[in-house]
Amino acid sequence: MEFKFAIEGGNFSKAGSASSEVKKILKQLNVNPKIIKRTVVSLYEAEVNVVAHAFEGCMNVDIDTDKIIVKIEDKGPGIPDIDQAMQEGYSTATPQVREMGFGAGMGLPNIKRNSDQMNITSKVDVGTEVEIINYFG
């Protein structure tokens, strides 16, 4: 099964809505609640990163019998140094975004902890793709 959800850069009032749709689908499919929880955390963080750091993007969801594969792609500034971005506490978020409680630099580490596989590819001034794979078994 494949689904696609748009993500608007800069629109914090809608942040999390794509993740919420995927959660509903996984619940309907009776996926193990523990795996739904992990998936929701990682998808939310990837979605918020598009909202906070990029211009626009989308969440492409592919649900198989044994796993969920999600690709979150965006058009945006890209990530110049992925190893640095993965470090807990590293953030380039603006002061306004931090004031809202975003920008703690814990998003990518949260994805890492809550996914079975995580792949990031990024091109500066073009965009970023984060792939998240979680197995149901």
Ligand X SMILES: Nc1ncnc2c1ncn2[C@@H]1O[C@H](COP(=O)(O)OP(=O)(O)O)[C@@H](O)[C@H]1O
Q: How far apart are CA 25 and CA 5, in angstroms?
A: 13
* Look-up of token digits 């969801």: 61
Among ligand X, another protein, Mg ion, none, partner that 92 touches (CB below 5 to 8 angstroms by kind): ligand X
Q: Which residue, 13 or 30, has its beta carbon nearer to another protein?
A: 13
Provide the binding-site residues for ligand X, judged by CB under 6 A.
45, 49-50, 52-54, 74, 76-79, 85, 90-93, 102-108, 128
Task: Judge contact between 136 and 68, C-beta under 8 A.
Answer: yes
Distance of CA 48 to the CA centre of its chain: 7
- Site for Mg ion contains 49 (CB under 5 A): yes
- Site for another protein contains 6 (CB under 8 A): no
Task: Judge contact between 124 and 77, C-beta under 8 A.
Answer: yes
- Site for Mg ion contains 107 (CB under 5 A): yes
CA atoms within 13 A on the CB side of 71: 10
Nearest to 86 by CA among 110, 58, 102: 110
Among Mg ion, another protein, ligand X, none, partner that 23 touches (CB below 5 to 8 angstroms by kind): another protein
The only residue of 6, 29, 82, 100 in contact with another protein, by rule CB under 8 A: 100
Q: Which residue, 88 or 123, has its beta carbon nearer to another protein?
A: 88
Among Mg ion, ligand X, another protein, none, partner that 10 touches (CB below 5 to 8 angstroms by kind): none
Q: How far apart are CA 37 and CA 40, in angstroms?
A: 5
